[in-house]
């Protein structure tokens, strides 16, 4: 059986890691196709190195573009891959353009598609990712879900129960696999967050969604809140290239201090404690996140990772496709209103969070369950 495993963006690389490992263990023929949706070394190559993934068997090199351009390029190039490799199964993960485009190209060629992380819904169709999720789920043959909410969403959309498999969360597989290695990272020393062996309190920020970064007033409001928060604790900001570009174009980059390492600086000695740097690799960022007092984000995966790590997470969106992280985990939805961001941040720093529980099947064995299902269904 020939399997093609598709990834295109930074979160995808984290999700395919345990799948690739499990497929290798079982001796299944698997090719990794990198669409090139994320192509910067710090958004792509570094992740393959950190996650101990082999070089992709095929790199489509589609690069950036509008949603239509990027989706179209991926479909055209991935169709060629399907003609050449003639796979028995295509596995896609997550909700980026690479996910929907590859699934659609394969489905039109009558190649079975498995969607890992199926059924998540924000119920906000202004988000491109929501369109990708819905499309991919309705053309896939195997739908692997992370939570009961996802199962319910798929059933309500008329998808047969025979296609739905509740297996858990592959992102947590990866986190558990690399956590001990991440603990050996020296990123906290490089950022001067350790002094005489004692760890300082700090917050971590990630921000990239158009609803937060594409409007000047919204972005300015978020960073005005962060500046006030930084008077209390440092805010460490590994910046997505999109956000850095917007900060510069809106002339808001004066609200942050851009650094790579802080070997000659002292966080506490600066008036500007929002420290922006290039994106970090998986290992460094996992270490940084796991010791934070607070994480502020508009990312989906970080909501899940902070839940497992027990780190308070404020999601700077009005909704989430991962409600289990709010109900069972450490996540709180606060939107992008500056006062609400500050109020929630200060409350957590003063009072912490009530005890939470780990969602079902977020135990590091999701990839094993997925490959077990595929083996039973496809291998004869």
Question: Tokens in use for 225?
Answer: 């809140």
How far from chain centre, in Å, is Cα 238? 14
Domains in the chain, CATH or no CATH each? 2-169+362-378 (3.40.50.2000), 179-351 (3.40.50.2000)
Question: Tokens in use for 158?
Answer: 């008329």
Determine whether 355 is exposed, middle or buried from the number of CB atoms within 10 Å of its CB (0-12, 13-18, 19+): exposed
Strand locations in the chain, DSSP E? 2-7, 29-34, 58-59, 89-93, 113-118, 142-145, 164-166, 194-195, 198-199, 203-205, 235-238, 257-258, 274-277, 294-297, 313-315, 331-333
Distance (Å, rounded) from C-alpha 307 to C-alpha 322? 11
pLDDT at residue 260 above 70?
A: no
12-27 mean pLDDT: 96
The CB density around residue 55, as the number of other CB atoms within 10 Å, is 9
3-state secondary structure of 198: strand
281-304 mean pLDDT: 96
Question: Tokens in use for 310?
Answer: 């027990």
What is the predicted pLDDT for the residue at 232?
92
pLDDT at residue 264 above 50?
A: no
Range 55-62, long-range pairs (CB < 8 A, 24+ positions): 56/7, 56/32, 57/31, 57/32, 57/33, 58/31, 58/32, 58/33, 58/34, 59/33, 59/34, 60/33, 60/34, 60/35, 60/36, 61/36, 62/8, 62/35, 62/36, 62/37
Catalytic residue among 59, 115, 208, 240: 208
pLDDT at residue 38 above 90?
A: no
| Residues 105 and 79: beta-carbon distance below 8 Å | yes
Q: Phi-psi bin for 163: left (phi > 0), alpha (psi -120 to 50), beta? A: alpha
Mean of pLDDT over the chain: 92
Active site residue 240: no
pTM over 0.85: yes
Question: Tokens in use for 331?
Answer: 């996540």
Residue pLDDT, tens place only, 293-332:
999 999 999 999 999 999 999 999 999 999 999 999 999 9
Residue pLDDT, tens place only, 108-167:
999 999 999 999 999 999 999 999 999 999 999 999 999 999 999 999 999 999 999 999
């Amino acid at each position: 059986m020939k399997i093609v495993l598709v990834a295109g963006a930074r979160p995808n690389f984290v999700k395919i890691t345990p799948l690739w490992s499990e497929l290798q263990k079982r001796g299944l023929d698997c090719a990794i196709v990198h669409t090139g949706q994320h192509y910067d070394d710090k958004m792509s190559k570094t992740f393959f190195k950190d996650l101990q993934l082999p070089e992709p068997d095929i790199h489509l090199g589609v690069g950036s573009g509008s949603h239509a351009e990027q989706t179209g390029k991926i479909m055209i190039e991935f169709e060629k891959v399907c003609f050449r490799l003639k796979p028995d199964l295509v596995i896609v993960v997550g909700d980026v353009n690479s996910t929907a485009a590859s699934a659609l190209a394969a489905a039109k060629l009558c190649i079975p598609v498995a969607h890992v992380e199926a059924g998540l819904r924000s119920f906000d169709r202004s988000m491109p990712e929501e369109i990708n999720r819905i499309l991919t789920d309705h053309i896939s043959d195997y739908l692997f879900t992370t939570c009961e909410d996802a199962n319910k969403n798929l059933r309500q959309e008329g998808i047969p129960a025979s296609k739905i498999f509740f297996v858990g969360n592959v992102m947590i597989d990866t986190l558990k696999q690399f956590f001990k290695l991440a603990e050996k990272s020296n990123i906290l020393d490089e950022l001067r967050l350790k002094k005489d062996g004692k760890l300082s309190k700090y917050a971590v920020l990630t921000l990239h969604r158009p609803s937060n970064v594409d409007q000047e007033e919204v972005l300015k409001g978020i960073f005005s809140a962060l500046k006030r928060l930084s008077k209390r604790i440092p805010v460490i900001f590994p910046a997505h290239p999109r956000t850095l570009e917007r900060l510069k174009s809106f002339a808001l980059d004066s609200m942050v201090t851009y650094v790579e390492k802080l070997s000659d600086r002292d966080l506490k000695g600066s008036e500007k404690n929002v420290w922006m740097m290039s994106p970090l690799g998986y290992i460094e960022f996992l270490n940084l996140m796991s010791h934070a007092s607070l994480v502020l984000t508009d990312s989906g995966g970080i909501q899940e990772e902070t839940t497992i790590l027990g780190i308070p997470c404020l999601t700077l969106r009005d909704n989430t496709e991962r409600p289990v992280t709010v109900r069972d985990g450490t996540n709180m939805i606060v939107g992008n209103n500056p006062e609400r961001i500050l109020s929630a941040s200060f409350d957590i720093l003063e009072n912490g969070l009530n005890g939470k529980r780990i969602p079902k099947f977020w135990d590091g064995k999701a990839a094993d369950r997925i490959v077990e299902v595929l083996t039973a269904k496809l291998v004869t």
